[in-house]
């Protein structure tokens, strides 16, 4: 298959970037999107040009490092997958594909398609953990957790922290990510204890870092590779408002 | 506690939600009141009499104005912050994500249309009714009594361009509310996966009820001027 790629090139955080066109030819339909970029970079290196910088690590949809905005969609046009899980067969032969970095004030571009997502780490560090002593792994039946709660917690815990939610949101809001973390811990007994403190601390950090105010468009859940539901945002709202009213 | 309503995004959203809810309740009342005009001019004017320049009507007007102001001011504040959070560089290619309504992404635009319509509406009615009374006059510049709301309705909607402007206004309000109603509940924390389809359905019903209630009065009075025979069966 042959493709024309329109890729955002930017030397470093300070420089102004621009789109540049590249051709990739004779790639197999079973090539993954990132492998296709590897092939392009191989060509560029052979030609003595600067390869395209892009983030990736596991290449199996679990680490949350890959982050491309492809043809208007975070993680490409397919549903429920990360960028590393898409394949060239999902595109039309001969297509022009536009590849951009995440665009959000809190995720500044470092180089080409790589953005700095440490804002999400800072939000996590503000409260996305359990600080009570849980000791060694307890017996499986020692702490009974209703199946529905465990399921909801696990669904929220599927978040890989990729940043697609804030990158997609027209308000640059990080609510889906924060909600997923708050929700997954709030639904379990060990996490429940610190629920109020966690919600307040994470929301305060999110605001401090300049993320926007959610207007419930739902664009984040449509583009989230882990299909995190905005129902978790409703729970975050409850957790936060209840905590504030108790203050 | 008082300040989380200004210094936290979720607090600011709560102000948006509560002021929005207040406006929805008011507008439901206003719509019900208008529909009365179709059935009886006397009954309608009686309500207008209650809501003239009495102290409680004035207090109500003041609270309402405050509600609109808060909602409007926060809308601009939040939208300004959101644009800043989005950053200066926009995507070259954008799409409408699956299941995302146009209204939800254009709440400010719709709100501005609503407020422009409101300004027009206040000049048509409030300035010729409550304001006239406040100034101590017994007749407005159309030569009508300030409590004769029914006659004012008849006059205003005998002009086709007013009918058109009001319908555009109601349509913007309809769109604003199809998203606004469920969004305000989500913001207040009252939503989950089971309830989303229901809440969106309720939003559609509330928005359509409000649109229908207002539109039917405007259209009914316009039709009366086009086809006088309707006036006989109306008020
Ligand atoms: C004065 C002009 C208006 C402007 C500029 C305006 C603007 C906005 C904006 C920007 C939002 C935020 C979007 C969101 O959070 O989903 C919003 C929400 C809302 N508006 Fe308005 N609006 C106006 C008038 C009205 C009126 C007249 C009503 C009621 C009849 C109303 C009801 C609502 C509701 C219920 C919400 C949802 C609150 C929430 O999301 O938490 N608005 N409005
Ligand atoms: S909520 Fe979804 S889109 Fe947002 S960071 Fe987590 S996995 Fe990525
Ligand atoms: S590279 Fe790890 S999720 Fe895509």
Q: If you classify domain B4-234 with CATH, what class do you get?
A: mainly alpha
Question: CA A144, CA B124: separation in Å to the nearest integer?
Answer: 65
Of A111, A146, A171, the position where a domain reaches its end is A111
Question: CA A16, CA A58: separation in Å to the nearest integer?
Answer: 30
Q: What is the pLDDT along chain B (235 residues), one digit of tens a residue?
A: 458 999 999 999 999 999 999 999 999 999 999 999 999 999 999 998 888 888 999 999 999 999 999 999 999 999 999 999 999 999 999 999 999 999 999 999 999 999 999 999 999 999 999 999 999 899 999 999 998 999 999 999 999 999 999 999 999 999 999 999 999 999 999 999 999 999 999 999 999 999 999 999 999 999 998 887 776 665 4
Read off the pLDDT of residues A150-183 as tens digits, 9 standing for 90 and up: 999 999 999 999 999 999 999 999 999 999 999 9
Domains of chain B by residue range: 4-234
Q: Which atom of ligand 1 is nearest to the CA of B14?
A: 41
- The CATH number covering residue A214 comes to 1.10.1060.10
Query: What is the tally of structural domains in chain A?
Result: 2
Question: CA A245, CA B11: separation in Å to the nearest integer?
Answer: 11
Is the Cβ–Cβ distance between A32 and A47 less than 8 Å? no
Nearest beta carbon to residue A104 from set B4, B87, B92: B87
Residue A246 distance to chain B (closest CA, Å): 9
Nearest beta carbon to residue B188 from set A213, A221, A237: A237
Domain assignment of residue A100, given as a range? 3-111
Write down the pLDDT at residue B1.
Answer: 47
Read off the pLDDT of residues A29-86 as tens digits, 9 standing for 90 and up: 999 999 999 999 999 999 999 999 999 999 999 999 999 999 999 999 999 999 999 9
Question: CA B86, CA B94: separation in Å to the nearest integer?
Answer: 14
Q: What is the DSSP string of A211-224?
A: --------HHHHH-
Are residues A149 and A87 both part of a single domain?
no
Measured in Å, residue A207 CA sits from the centre of ligand 1 at 22
Are residues A123 and A11 both part of a single domain?
no
Strand ranges, E, within A76-118: 96-100, 109-111, 114-115
Are residues A121 and A241 both part of a single domain?
yes
Interface-testing mutation among B2, B6, B10, B195, with chain A (most A C-beta atoms within 10 A) = B10
Write down the pLDDT at residue B235.
Answer: 44
Q: Taking CB atoms and a 6 Å cutoff, what residues make up the pocket around ligand 2?
A: A 159-165, 176-177, 180, 224-226, 228
Measured in Å, residue B173 CA sits from the centre of ligand 1 at 9
Of A63, A96, A111, the position where a domain reaches its end is A111
Are residues A41 and A124 both part of a single domain?
no
Are residues A54 and A17 both part of a single domain?
yes
- pLDDT above 90 as % of chain A: 94
Angle at B53 (CA atoms; ends B52, B55), nearest 5 degrees: 115
Of A111, A143, A159, the position where a domain reaches its end is A111
The closest of B26, B29, B33, B23 to B153, measured between CA atoms, is B33
Write down the pLDDT at residue A134.
Answer: 74
Are residues A46 and A123 both part of a single domain?
no
Q: Token pair for residue A231?
A: 């129902």
pLDDT band, residue A133 (cuts 50/70/90): confident
Are residues A124 and A223 both part of a single domain?
yes
Question: CA A186, CA A194: separation in Å to the nearest integer?
Answer: 8
Question: CA B187, CA B209: separation in Å to the nearest integer?
Answer: 23
Are residues A27 and A94 both part of a single domain?
yes
What rounded mean pLDDT belongs to chain A?
96
The complex's ipTM works out to: 0.94
Residue A32 is classified by DSSP as: B
Contact: A207, B8; criterion CB under 8 Å: yes
Q: Which atom of ligand 2 is nearest to the CA of A177?
A: 1
Question: CA B73, CA B104: separation in Å to the nearest integer?
Answer: 18
Helix residue ranges per DSSP H, chain A: 33-46, 118-127, 147-157, 164-168, 175-186, 189-192, 195-208, 219-223, 231-246
């Amino acid at each position: 298959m042959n493709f024309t790629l329109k890729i955002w090139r930017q030397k470093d955080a300070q420089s102004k970037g621009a789109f540049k066109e590249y051709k990739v030819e004779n790639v197999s339909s079973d090539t993954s999107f990132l492998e296709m970029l590897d092939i392009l970079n191989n060509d560029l290196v052979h030609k003595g040009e600067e390869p395209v910088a892009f983030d990736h690590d596991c290449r199996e949809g679990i680490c949350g490092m890959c982050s491309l905005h492809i043809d208007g969609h975070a993680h490409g046009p397919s549903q429920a997958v990360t960028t590393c899980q898409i394949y060239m067969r999902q595109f039309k032969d001969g297509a022009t594909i536009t590849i951009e970095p995440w665009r959000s004030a809190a995720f500044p571009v470092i180089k080409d398609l790589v953005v700095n997502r440490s804002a999400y780490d800072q939000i996590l560090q503000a409260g996305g953990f359990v600080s009570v002593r849980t000791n060694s792994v307890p017996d499986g039946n020692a702490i009974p957790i209703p199946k529905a709660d465990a399921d909801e917690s696990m669904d929220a815990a599927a978040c890989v922290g990729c940043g697609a939610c804030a990158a997609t949101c027209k308000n640059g809001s990080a609510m889906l990510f924060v909600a997923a973390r708050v929700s997954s811990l709030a639904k379990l007994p060990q996490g429940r204890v610190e629920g109020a403190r966690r919600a307040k601390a994470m929301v305060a950090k999110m605001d401090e870092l300049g993320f926007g105010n959610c207007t419930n468009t739902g664009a984040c859940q449509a583009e989230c590779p882990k299909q995190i539901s905005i129902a978790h945002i409703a729970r975050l709202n409850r957790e936060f408002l209840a905590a504030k009213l108790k203050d | 506690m008082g300040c989380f309503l200004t210094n936290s995004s979720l607090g600011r959203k709560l102000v948006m939600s509560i002021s929005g809810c207040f406006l929805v309740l008011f507008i439901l009342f206003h719509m019900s009141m208008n529909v009365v005009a179709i059935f009886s001019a006397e009954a309608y004017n009686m309500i207008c009499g209650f809501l003239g320049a009495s102290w409680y009507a004035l207090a109500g007007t003041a609270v309402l104005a405050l509600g609109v102001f808060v909602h409007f001011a926060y809308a601009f504040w939040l939208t300004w912050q959101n644009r800043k959070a989005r950053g200066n560089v926009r995507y070259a290619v954008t799409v409408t994500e699956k299941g995302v309504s146009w209204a939800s992404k254009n709440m400010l635009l719709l709100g501005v249309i609503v407020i422009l319509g409101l300004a027009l509406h206040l000049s048509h009615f409030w300035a010729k009714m409550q304001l006239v009374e406040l100034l101590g006059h017994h007749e407005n510049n159309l030569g009508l009594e300030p409590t004769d709301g029914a006659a004012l309705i008849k006059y205003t909607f005998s002009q086709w361009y007013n009918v058109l402007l009001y319908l555009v206004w109601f349509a913007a309000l309809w769109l604003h509310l199809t998203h606004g109603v469920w969004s305000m509940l989500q913001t207040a924390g009252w939503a989950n996966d089971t309830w989303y389809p229901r809440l969106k359905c309720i939003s559609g019903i509330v928005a359509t009820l409000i649109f229908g209630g207002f539109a039917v009065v405007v259209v009914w009075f316009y039709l009366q001027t086009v086809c006088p025979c309707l006036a006989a069966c109306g008020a």
